[in-house]
Chain A
Amino acid sequence: MSEEMRGFDVQAYEELVTENSPVTEENLFIVLGKVQDIFGGVPREIVRDLAVRTGLAEARIYGALTSYRDFKVQAEGRD
């Protein structure tokens, strides 16, 4: 995890990723759901990280997230 991921509980996120390892296209939607439920939104840093892990484009994930009423994207991580 890069250092720029800050402003939210990085450890909690890392645990989530470990629990759902490997994160692939097959479980990404579910993992993102858990991120939403845990953090109350999906920070940009997490989208970026999950994009790298899954090999999917950041824009694709962003576009998907913003289409759902119950996902909130966050441009910056929260304090």
Chain B
Amino acid sequence: MKETKLLTERVGKYDPLDLKGYEASGGLEGLNQALAMEAEEVVEQVRRSGLTGRGGAGFPTGSKWESAAKHGPGPKYLICNADEGELGTFKDRVLLDGDPWAILEGILIGAYATGAEQAYIYIKGEYEDTFGLWEKLIEKARDAGLLGANILGSEFSLQLSVAKGRGLYIAGEEFALIASLETRRAMSRLKPPYPTEQGLFGRPTVVNNVETIANVPFILAKGWREYRRFGLEDDPGTRMFSLSGDVKRPGVYEIETGSGTLRGLIDEFGGGTREGGAIKAVQPGGGTSAFLDETSLDCTLSAEGIRKAGSSIGTAAVIVYEQPKSAVGMVKKLLEYYGNESCGRCAPCRLGIKRMQEIIERVNSGRADVDDTARLREIGRAAIRASTCGMGQVFPLPVLSALELFGQDFEAAVNKGPA
């Protein structure tokens, strides 16, 4: 297996505040190409590139842009979602810190294509330094004529504001993120309408993940055909995998879609498990993705490959659990994290997470009753089937998959009795 550095090539190669350095390594070519085209052509380029969202939901980026672009006069917004909160995910930070001008370039292209004149980048609160960097970067960009009125002498104008996340996982969900920027509680909402129809302040809004946006300059600079030479036909490009958990070499690895397996990623890039033991389980798409056990690790590294294996690619955050961990402990840790992160909107999610957390605590401490696994399944079904957003629909997946794959761990804990 090898890395394909479509997005990460420049990372660390230039001083992040040095626009010249960025330009010297081929930066801004995509923007220049875009500004020479009509906005619709830019949208078309992205649409034909087959780029899909890298924030978890995997929606086609071109369609999103097209939907926002078709709305007539009046304000529109573009939001770069840099609030990566999914457990095990730290890929966006690599780009934000290591090649920020490419993100800015992607934002500019996206705003130009969709007709947005105000953009926001919403950065995870814990990334204090990243936030500081971006505040400075925006000033530099303004001085260089890359932000403000008539960008690079064109008719196109854009303001970019940087907002700091305030410690909520759910603010990464697109509606919650929009609500946050509207100074509301970070809550999801019913859809339709989608953000591209009624988003920020009720106006058409594109919300794109950092990694998604990072693909855009390449597509514009080299053309969609060139982009599609990478990766799979129906899932082109690369994926930045955040590898963490019980591996020797955690880190971010950029891999062409479909060009390797989960096991290859863990063994070849991650150097195998930390203690050299057998793999107990893997979450391939972040902390809310279903567990895969050792038998499923030969799946292809693509959205489809991982789906077929029984989980989802999500944010491509691969979390590895080594034997002899108990699934109960694994699930308990996850729920400790997610237990406070529902937006509070859908009853089965808001209450379900908490109750699940309590039940797992009980199981873990040997105080569970015979009905508790049934309770977990009931909550899981209600939350998955009846919640509105990606949070409620997925948080039970690790729990349910653990029950499925590692039922004996739960039985053992229940039977053990209190310590």
Contact = CB atoms under 8 A, between A and B. Distances in A.
A16 interface: no
A25 B167 contact: no
Contact of A67 (B118, B165, B168): B168
A29 B186 contact: no
A26 interface: yes
Nearest to B180: A29
Interface residues of B, number: 21
A32 B183 contact: yes
Interface in B188-208: 201
A56 B344 CA distance: 22
Given A25-B182, A64-B185, A70 B166 contact: yes
Contacts of A30: 161-164
Contacts of A36: 166
B148 interface: no
Contacts of A27: 161
Interface residues of A, number: 20
Main secondary structure of the interface of A (DSSP, over half): helix
A28 interface: yes
B183 A25 contact: yes
A70 to B, nearest CB: 4
Contacts of B183: 25, 28-29, 32, 56, 60-61, 64
Given A26-B201, A68-B168, A70-B125, A33 B163 contact: yes
Contacts of A32: 183
Contacts of B118: 26
A68 B166 contact: yes
A71 interface: yes
Contact of B168 (A28, A33, A69): A69
Nearest to B341: A69
B87 interface: no
14 contacts: A25-B183, A25-B201, A26-B201, A29-B180, A29-B181, A30-B162, A36-B166, A37-B164, A60-B184, A64-B183, A67-B187, A68-B166, A68-B167, A68-B171
Interface of A: 25-30, 32-33, 36-37, 56, 60-61, 63-64, 67-71
